[in-house]
Amino acid sequence: MQIFPCPFCGPRDETEFHYVGEPKARPEPAEAVSDAEWSAYLHLNANPKGASREVWLHMTCLESFLMTRDTATNAVLGSEPFTRAAS
Amino acid sequence: MSGFRLPAGGAVDRGRPLAFTFDGKPYLGFRGDSIASALLANGVRVVGRSFKYHRPRGVWGAWTEEPNAIVDVTRRGRTTPNLRATVEALDNDLAVRSVNALPTAAADRVALLDRLSAFMPAGFYYKTFLWPRWETFELAIRAMAGLGRVDPDNQPHGDNPQFNARCDMLVVGGGPAGLAAANAAARSGRAVFLLDDRADIGGQLVHRGGSIEGGDWRDWAASVTAAVEANGGRVMTSTTAYGVYDHRLVSAWERSGTLPDALWRIRPKTIIVAAGAVERPLVVPDNDRPGVMSADAALVYLRRFAVLVGKRIAIATNNDSAYPVADALSEAGAEVELFDLRPDAPPTTLRVVRGAEIEGVAGASGVEGVRIGGQTRAVDTVLLSGGWTPTVHLYAQARGKLRYDEALAALVPNVEVEGVRVAGAANGAFNLDEALRQGHAAGGGQGAPPNAPSGQYRVTAAWPKPDAPGRRWIDFQNDVTLKDVALAAREGYVSVEHLKRYTTLGMATDQGKTSNINGLAAMAALTGRSIDETGTTTYRPPFVPVPMGVIAGRRRGALISPLKRLPLEAEHRADGAQMREYGGWLRPAWYGPDDPGRAIQREAARARDAVALFDGSSLGKIEIIGPDAATLADFSSYNRLSNLKPGKVRYGFLLQESGIVFDDGVTLRLAEDRFLVSCSSGHTDSVVTRLELWRQDRFDPRRVVIHDTTAQWATLTLTGPRARDLVAALDLGAALDDDSLPHMAFTPAAFDGAPLRITRVSFTGDRSYELSAPARRARALRARIVEKLPAFGGGLLGLEALMILRAEKGFIVVGKDTDGTTMPHDLGIAGPRDSRKDEYIGKRSLFTPAANDKGRKQFVGLTVAQGETALSTGAHVIEGAGRARRSMGYVTSSYVSPTLGAPVALGLVANGFARMGQTVGVYHLGAERRATIAPAVALDPEGKRLHA
């Protein structure tokens, strides 16, 4: 059983978390996106061995965040809230 | 008769005799005995039959490594299968039965299998699968295979507690190394958990003895446990740490004897693996005879239980640890002779033959002699000591890697694992002083380690030689001989993982604790590789078999996946509701004790004729609030919502990014900056998650929030031609004429001073009113409705009848009438795709070539000829005949409509919209019927009933 650090709640049991996916930019507008680009967005993942940056959701506080894990050892290398570009 | 009880000594209570039976025969033992020690004390030699050849087998070991003495134990009428007789404590009135023996271990009818052993080589099952015919032999093989018999009456209560704990250091093993580690850590103020799977502390010290810090080891051990407890730690005996998992979680199984077994989930900062070592056999011919035993085990039986395992004992060894055993047995009165493989064996006062290998063990049902130098010497017991195998399981589970140590003839830990240290015999320290030193260091001890006389341990590796003659057992439990390993190597199964699966070496309840190293060493020799190159199989939890109930704890039955409950469940039950699960919610399926089929038809008919009440409280009620609520609602939804007027309601879909329909439901615009999404009951959590993820990713979270109010509101829905009359009679203070409250609109109202919302939406096709009230007011509201129902000819409506009503109207249930390919235009709703210019989830996927393929499965109705029965849900819609027959889709919903007096069915059929009116085949369980593709709406296609 793994312990994941929620940036808002601290270390919590893995059963409280939901894996969302790799961080990706959503290609849009739809009219300007090719089939290949869209297919890559939907289905292609880097799936690295080693350090992997992933989006997770802490289901008890409902905040999503970025976590970096080593996919070979399951070691957690860090977690951070999303930062927003100034708009 | 071979083993017997000595008149004095041991840790058994001779004042407390215990009666038990083994294979039906009565015996006596003492409090403090294990089942195995009691059997040995009674001279019982054959305790089981081997798995494959049904060879008679005796007790080999004295603890969890035991491969042979597997028994079913009946206690107070309940049988627990496959326990190790060497581990289970004896108790009064136990009925012990040998496994895999027909009828008893002593007289097994299937024993002639052993003579057919030439026909049962390694990979026997796999080969029989291929040739001649598995089916011919399956029944007989299945009847003979397996170990104990499951007792269906043995259903333990779900009361095994589970505890979570943290500590600075977890020490696994209460032998000298573990005690030294715990001592060092506790005395520096750290909280230590010290675990041992035996009922006492001490490990090998208990039967081999020893002097520590200049006195009896027990005095020192007592001071250690006192220090542990004084520093916030805990000493737990009869507790097995059986698995190390990610992030250093250790699972331990605690047996108190009187209370139910418990599971401990312990998260230590550091784990010390001081789990000791297991003695392995020498691979000599016929080394599986009853009466062949581990030398160390014989010493355990002598010292712990005062049982002498034989009178004339031959000890074959390759290492020094057998010598104290020989001395002790001789002292206890046995005639002992040593056969040491090493020409330079240590000096001893006993008879010893140096540089000698036993050439065989005589005696079909028990040891009668050993062959040496071509002659047989009469003995009743043969002890084998082939060296020690460190118990590295927990270290290896924590990703530790092993290396072969030539001098120790053992696989020992090789690399550092963060937070895990190995000490003592588990780390190849087979002498007391070295074990103490390692433990002290592992525990972070300063200064000198606990003092003990220096010892010496020497061993000469005696790995199986590939060409050795005779039948030499490597794995007793799975009947794997040296020849089987050789055959596996010849047939190409040279990887140890393949070897394990092909021959079953190292499988089953003992997981090869005594056999793995001999097997892989044999494979190394057969393939000309080193032991390091050959490697080990993967170590996986659990270290010993753990009862499933301990792992499950209280998460059993209804608690495995707890259901969501309606606030009005008690009221529904009082009215005779039959509750069933729908999408994780427990909801009324139908009412009354009547035959369900009739009750459901009656409820559906009454809803069409008059009015019916159903509980829609489980439908999701998710609010989107804030200045950006409309843009988030638009992005999330297939249908635009920003142009919905406050006070109005719109039906629509939520799509996945893949364009697949994820959920359907209605959305209310409560105010300019506030929407209420009423999603499917089973989808509420996932819709909240999805809205949150996009809100945080794409929107300014300060300008829009998601708020799930599902649990705060109860929704009672009235449907049917007299629904308005009934709502009017409730006096809710709202105008109900169609101008004031048209279909797809809502109005605030009041009930007994509490806020109420009346929404006109319909899942039945009839005029319907959803009354949503705060959950705590729902009981009073329902009571008033139920009181009025009879006056309007109305009744209660369960989910099953509601399913008929919605199917008559062709209303979908997502996940039932849609599948993982269904896009909105497959359901006939293509408007937003064709008109929306803005972005929304799933949009791009609706424009791919696949999304516009002509052969897509589309949502249609299916009708059958007059008088025919309903189609089967799940039946295939087919075209073609014979070998050309293929599936075009399937029936998703099928019911009998009381209103139409005919079956109604819905389905997904390839290119279904273009096939309207066509007759197709419907195939189910070997039978084929005919059906006609029709519009999904079977009742009131003009929608007049909504306004009737």
pLDDT digits over B99-130, tens only? 877 778 787 777 777 777 777 777 777 777 67
Provide, rounded to the nearest whole percent, the portion of chain B with pLDDT above 70: 99
- What one-character-per-residue DSSP string does B112-144 give? GGGGGGGGS-TTHHHHHHHSS-HHHHHHHHHHH
Pairwise CB contact (< 8 Å): B839 & A1: no
CB contact under 8 A, A57 and B692: yes
Distance from CA of A70 to the nearest CA of B (A): 12
pLDDT at residue B385 greater than cutoff 90: yes
Instruction: Give yes or no for A72 touching B (CB within 8 A).
Output: no
Candidates A26, A41, A54, A59: best to mutate against B (most CBs of B within 10 A) is A26
Partners of residue B657 in chain A, C-beta under 8 Å = 41-42
The CATH number that domain B622-708 falls under is 3.30.70.1400
How far does A31 lie from chain B, in Å, by closest CA? 8
CB-based contact B20:B38 (threshold 8 Å): yes
- Beta strands B162-172 and B192-195 are parallel
Residue A87: per-residue pLDDT: 47
Chain A interface, best mutation among B166, B696, B698, by max A CB count within 10 A: B696
Which of B246, B689, B697 has its CB closest to that of A18? B689
| Cα–Cα distance, B83 to B702 (Å, whole number) | 61
Closest by CA position to B87, among listed B292, B238, B209: B238
Cβ of A2 within 8 Å of Cβ of B246? The answer is: yes
Give the A:B interface size as CB pairs under 8 Å: 51
Contact A57 B844 (CB under 8 A): no
* A73 contacts in chain B (CB < 8 Å): 399
* Separation of alpha carbons B774 and B776, rounded Å: 6
Q: Do A63 and B843 touch (CB under 8 A)?
A: no
Task: List the single residue in B249, B658, B849 with the smallest CB-CB distance to A1.
Answer: B249
Side chain identity, residue B211? S
Q: Do A1 and B847 touch (CB under 8 A)?
A: no
- Alpha carbon distances (Å) from B811 to A3, B241, B803, B817, B824: 44, 55, 9, 9, 13
Q: Which residues form the domain of A74?
A: 3-80
Instruction: Name every chain B residue with its beta carbon within 8 A of the beta carbon of A18.
Output: 689
pLDDT at residue number B448: 96
Q: Which residues of B touch A63 (CB under 8 A)?
A: 696
Considering only CB atoms, A82 lies closest to which of B249, B696, B845, namely B696
**CATH domain B854-947 topology:** Elongation Factor Tu (Ef-tu); domain 3 (2.40.30)
pLDDT at residue B291 tops 60? yes
Residue ranges per structural domain of chain B: 4-109, 162-278+390-442, 281-386, 463-529, 564-618+712-806, 622-708, 854-947
**Which residues in chain A are contacts of B693 at CB distance < 8 A?**
20, 57, 64
Residue B618 has pLDDT above 60, yes or no: yes
Asked if B162-278+390-442 and B281-386 have one fold, the answer is yes
What's the CATH number for B564-618+712-806? 3.30.1360.120
Q: What is the mean pLDDT of residues B33-43?
A: 98
Cβ-Cβ contacts under 8 Å for B525 (sequence gap 6 or more): B463, B464, B465, B466
Q: Give per-residue pLDDT as tens, B809-828.
A: 999 999 999 999 999 999 99
Q: Is A86 inside a domain boundary?
A: no
A73 vs B: CB within 8 A: yes
Calpha distance B658→B688 (Å, rounded): 19
Residues in B touching A22 (Cβ below 8 Å): none
CB contacts of B700 in chain A (<8 Å) are 84, 87
**pLDDT bucket at B144, cuts 50 / 70 / 90:** low
Across the interface, do B247 and A35 touch by the CB < 8 Å criterion? no
Residue A13 forms part of a structural domain? yes
Minimum mean pLDDT range among B4-13, B32-41, B107-116? B107-116
A81 and chain B: CB distance < 8 Å anywhere? no
Q: Closest CB to B839: pick one of A28, A38, A59.
A: A28
pLDDT at B187 over 90: yes
Residue A86 predicted with pLDDT over 60: no
Instruction: Tell me whether residues B658 and A82 touch, CB distance under 8 A.
Output: no
* B482-505 pLDDT per residue, tens: 999 999 999 999 999 999 999 989
Residue A73 counted as domain residue: yes
Q: Are B160 and B552 in contact (CB under 8 A)?
A: yes
Query: What distance in Å separates residue B839's CA from the closest CA in chain A?
Result: 7
Say which CATH superfamily domain B463-529 falls into.
BFD-like [2Fe-2S]-binding domain (1.10.10.1100)
Scanning A31-60 for CB atoms below 8 A from B yields 33, 35, 38, 41-42, 57, 59
Taking CB atoms and an 8 Å limit, are B692 and A3 in contact across chains?
A: no
The per-residue pLDDT for B156 is 74
A85 touching B (Cβ < 8 Å): no
Q: How far is CA B106 from the centre of its chain?
A: 36
CB-nearest partner of B839 from A30, A42, A76 = A30
Mutate to test the interface with B, among A8, A37, A42, A65 (most CBs of B within 10 A): A42
In this complex, is the C-beta atom of A64 within 8 Å of any C-beta atom belonging to chain B? yes
Q: In this structure, are residues B267 and A11 in contact, taking their beta carbons and an 8 Å threshold? A: no
**pLDDT over 70 (residue B15):** yes
Among B245, B844, B849, the residue with its CB nearest the CB of A1 is B245
In this structure, CATH architecture of domain B162-278+390-442: 3-Layer(bba) Sandwich (3.50)
The gap from C-alpha B237 to its chain's centroid, in whole angstroms, comes to 26
Q: Does the interface ipTM go beyond 0.90?
A: yes
Token pair recorded at residue B138? 């399956």
Question: Of B915, B914, B926, which Cα lies nearest the Cα of B872?
Answer: B926
We report the CATH number of the domain holding residue A62 as 3.30.2270.10
User: Which residues on B lie below 8 Å from A3 (Cβ)?
Assistant: 247, 267
pLDDT band at A82 (very low <50, low <70, confident <90, very high): confident
Average pLDDT, chain B: 94
| Residues contacting B252, CB < 8 A, separation 6+ | B195, B236, B239, B240, B241, B242, B263, B264, B266
CB nearest A42 (choices: B658, B692, B693): B658
In contact, B99 and B83? CB cutoff 8 Å: no
Give the rounded percent of residues in chain B with a pLDDT score beyond 90. 88
Q: What is the pLDDT of residue A85?
A: 59
CA distance B517 to B519: 5
CATH number for B281-386 (one of 3.40.50.2000, 1.10.8.50, 3.50.50.60, 3.40.50.2300): it is 3.50.50.60
CA B539 to chain centre: 18
- Chosen CATH of B4-109 out of 3.10.20.440, 1.10.10.10, 3.10.20.740, 2.60.40.10: 3.10.20.440
CA of B871 vs chain A CAs: smallest distance (Å): 37
Number of structural domains (chain A) is 1
User: What digits encode the pLDDT tens for the residues B444-461?
Assistant: 999 999 999 999 999 999
Interface test with A, best of B162, B166, B247 (most A CBs within 10 A): B247
Cα→Cα distances B646→B652, B675, B744, Å:
17, 9, 11
Given A28, A38, A64, which is nearest B696 (Cβ)? A64
Chain B residues bordering chain A (beta-carbon distance below 8 Å): 245-247, 249, 265, 267, 399, 657-658, 688-689, 692-693, 696-698, 700, 706, 839, 843-845, 847-849
B146: left (phi over 0), alpha (psi -120 to 50) or beta: left
Answer yes or no: do B693 and A30 touch at CB < 8 A: no
Nearest Cα neighbor of B350 from B363, B336, B366 is B336
Tell me the average pLDDT across B640-652. 98
